[in-house]
Amino acid sequence: MNKNIRFLMVAILVMTLAITGCTSKKNSEDLDTSKNDDLVIENEGNTEEVLEVKLPEFNLKDVEGNEVSSEIFNDYEMTIVSFWQSTCGPCMEELEALNVIYDEYKDKGVNVVGIALDDVETMGDKGVKKVIEILDLKFTNVIADEEYAIQLMDYITGTPTAFMVGKNGELLMDPKVGSVGKDNDIEEFKKIVEEIIQK
């Protein structure tokens, strides 16, 4: 893809998130999986097809430059993947809540991964580093590159958006879009995690 076109697409995504991002609480029906190229179709024994909707796979870097891939999901029964921006107030509420959830459930097969959607190619990664430091985030956080940001255009309509995924990155339910404040987010995530664990 032409570099100028890729830059334009990323710029549009970042502008869209800046305008529609930082949502308080909103309906999660905006997820458009009809155009999802990552649909995995399993057809064993020609009985019936099972459609498995997955997050796009990634191989990104954390703020220390360590590579983190979507294979991180393999080690847990469930992973909460939070997409956030350093300029988004509601994102901070959700990240604080997820710190609590991570502490409570990390030994129960539940992980948390944050993916920052900041435009680091233009603005650098100082904002992301500062958020991680100030909030003392204990879970893994990576920064989306240009290519991954483009892949997310069919998934993310605002920040924060949290997906609950299984071992293979498959979506376990509709995403949680927006924040209702740290304490309420903690309660919502606990309810979600307990419901999925009991299935």
Contacts of 110 (CB under 8 A, 6+ apart): 76, 77, 78, 79, 80, 101, 193, 197
Residue 101 has pLDDT above 60, yes or no: yes
Both structure tokens of 23: 């949502």
Give, as one character, the DSSP assignment of residue 174: P
In this predicted structure, what is the pLDDT of residue 88? 95
Both structure tokens of 48: 């019936």
Tens of pLDDT, residues 118-153 = 987 777 899 999 999 999 999 999 999 999 999 999
Both structure tokens of 24: 């308080």
Domains and CATH numbers, the chain: 3-198 (3.40.30.10)
Residue type, 8: L
Using CA atoms, how far apart are residues 182 and 2, in angstroms rounded to an integer? 42
Tens of pLDDT, residues 35-52 = 344 434 343 444 344 467
pTM for the model stands at 0.79
Q: Mean pLDDT of all residues in the chain?
A: 82
In this predicted structure, what is the pLDDT of residue 28? 39
Torsion angles phi and psi, residue 148, rounded to 5: -70, -35
